[in-house]
Amino acid sequence: MESDTGPSEALRRLNVFNRHFAPLIQQQVSSDSLSPSLQAGLSNEIQYVVKNSILTAEQERSYQENGFLVIPNLVPHHKIDAYREEFELICEGKNRQRSAGMTIMKDVALKTLSGERAINKLQDFQDNEVLFSYCSSPELLQYVECFTGPDAMAMHTMLINKPPDPGSKTSRHPMHQDLHYFPFRPAKSIVCSWTAMEKVHRQNGCLVVIPGSHKGQLMRHDYPKWEGGVNKMYHGIMDFDASAPRVHLEMEKGDTVFFHPLLLHGSGTNKTSGFRKAISCHYASSNCHYIDVAGTTQANMANEITDVAKRKLGEDVEVNIKDIWYMKGRLVKGERITL
Ligand SMILES: O=C(O)CCC(=O)C(=O)O
């Protein structure tokens, strides 16, 4: 079945988002502005968007100002259902080959449970045909290109499942910037797509973003000191200003948010008895370059990742963070250049 909401419903929801973000966005989107149009004339600040015919002027302005852009009803429901089935098979351990190369993570407070009730993340599914088809789908790539340009790599893949929180609040994801995890630049040529696999809202732990925070610097991250514990690799910003105005991104199944890797974001506790799933890919221009993170705020992340890799490959194996990223990156559009 194709997604069950049509263009007028998509437009209505887009306008609800925009009303919600006013005065950040200021202009109501009209049905005319949903059609592709070539727009020019943004200010001379950092240009976060590559000019092409996909984004309307309003969408460009919104990404520039806020660092994120929600496209309602972008991924058809039948595709999401296929990703869900694949996730369930992996959770059931049905076929080990399906999960080759992936990291399967469990919520720290749910370790005694099994399957979907405990697994909170699949990471690095670049070799799983069904899940990776999300990253190479044309409906996503037409938008990805607006941020990466014509040569795009899928660098980091995740299916995030939030099982019902057992009271530990460990289903929360601390506020962070994704660039903390990436040893490549420039930041403006990297974008995340995050697609809701079911209705996400405040009760089940939707994404929370700080509009405009993508214009700041990469901040220091570490594990938050939470009473109930913190999940592996859930680093958060150390000096987070809790009074910063935040927006809860309530989304429908198939809605997709594209966001900048410096955008401060996180997600809340799943207070419901159901799951909250999303599928996500970080894309980068294949023209990006690797950086040395030794001695920077990213060194703690690099050490943790290389320790995990050594545990898998053997302590005596020389592991370099750039090699890890080089190996898991997959070209999805154009040519592979430097990444
Ligand atoms: O889906 C979520 O709850 C947040 C995921 C996220 O921000 C991440 O894994 O970096």
Kindly state the average pLDDT of the residues 74-83. Answer: 98
The residue assigned the tokens 């925009």 is 18
Look at residue 12 and tell me whether its pLDDT is greater than 60.
Answer: no
Q: Which pLDDT score, from 0 to 100, does residue 182 have?
A: 95
Give nearest CA residue, ligand 1 atom 2: 267
One-letter identity of residue 145: E
Distance CA 278, CA 198 (A): 8
Helix axes 321-328, 299-313, angle to 10 degrees: 70
Look at residue 123 and tell me whether its pLDDT is greater than 90.
Answer: yes
246 or 116: which leads in pLDDT:
246
CB distance 98 to ligand 1 below 6 Å: no
Alpha-carbon distances of 297 from 47, 152, 200, 210, 223, rounded to whole Å:
25, 26, 32, 21, 13
Look at residue 164 and tell me whether its pLDDT is greater than 70.
Answer: yes
In this predicted structure, which of 103-117, 256-270, 318-332 has the lowest mean pLDDT?
103-117
CB distance 231 to ligand 1 below 6 Å: no
- Residue 41's pLDDT band, with cuts at 50, 70 and 90, is very low
18 or 188: which leads in pLDDT:
188
Kindly state the average pLDDT of the residues 264-275. Answer: 95
CB distance 158 to ligand 1 below 6 Å: yes
Residues in the chain: 339
- Residue 88's pLDDT band, with cuts at 50, 70 and 90, is very high
- Residue 37's pLDDT band, with cuts at 50, 70 and 90, is very low
Distance CA 197, CA 96 (A): 24
Per cent of the chain over pLDDT 90 is 60
Dist. CA 322 → ligand 1 center (Å): 22
12 or 97: which leads in pLDDT:
97
Look at residue 98 and tell me whether its pLDDT is greater than 60.
Answer: yes
Residue 195 near residue 278, CB atoms below 8 Å: yes
Look at residue 330 and tell me whether its pLDDT is greater than 70.
Answer: yes
CB distance 107 to ligand 1 below 6 Å: no
237 or 52: which leads in pLDDT:
237
| φ, ψ of residue 333 in degrees (nearest 5) | -160, 135
Give the three-state DSSP class for 248.
strand
Mutate to test the pocket of ligand 1, among 179, 198, 264, 267 (most ligand atoms within 8 A of CB): 267
96 or 42: which leads in pLDDT:
96
299 or 319: which leads in pLDDT:
299
Which residues contact residue 72 at a Cβ distance below 8 angstroms, ignoring those fewer than 6 apart? Answer: 5, 9, 10, 13, 14, 17, 251, 252, 254, 255
CB distance 152 to ligand 1 below 6 Å: no
Please give the number of the atom of ligand 1 that sits closest to the Cα of 205: 3
163 or 99: which leads in pLDDT:
163
Q: Which pLDDT score, from 0 to 100, does residue 45 have?
A: 65
Residue 98 DSSP symbol = G
Q: Which pLDDT score, from 0 to 100, does residue 7 have?
A: 41
Where helices occur in the chain by DSSP H, the ranges are 7-21, 31-34, 57-66, 77-91, 129-132, 138-148, 299-313, 321-328
- Residue 201's pLDDT band, with cuts at 50, 70 and 90, is very high
Look at residue 3 and tell me whether its pLDDT is greater than 80.
Answer: no
Q: Give the tokens for residue 262.
A: 């410096």
CATH number of this structure's domain 7-333: 2.60.120.620
pLDDT averaged over the chain? Answer: 85
Kindly state the average pLDDT of the residues 158-184. Answer: 93
* Domain positions in the chain: 7-333
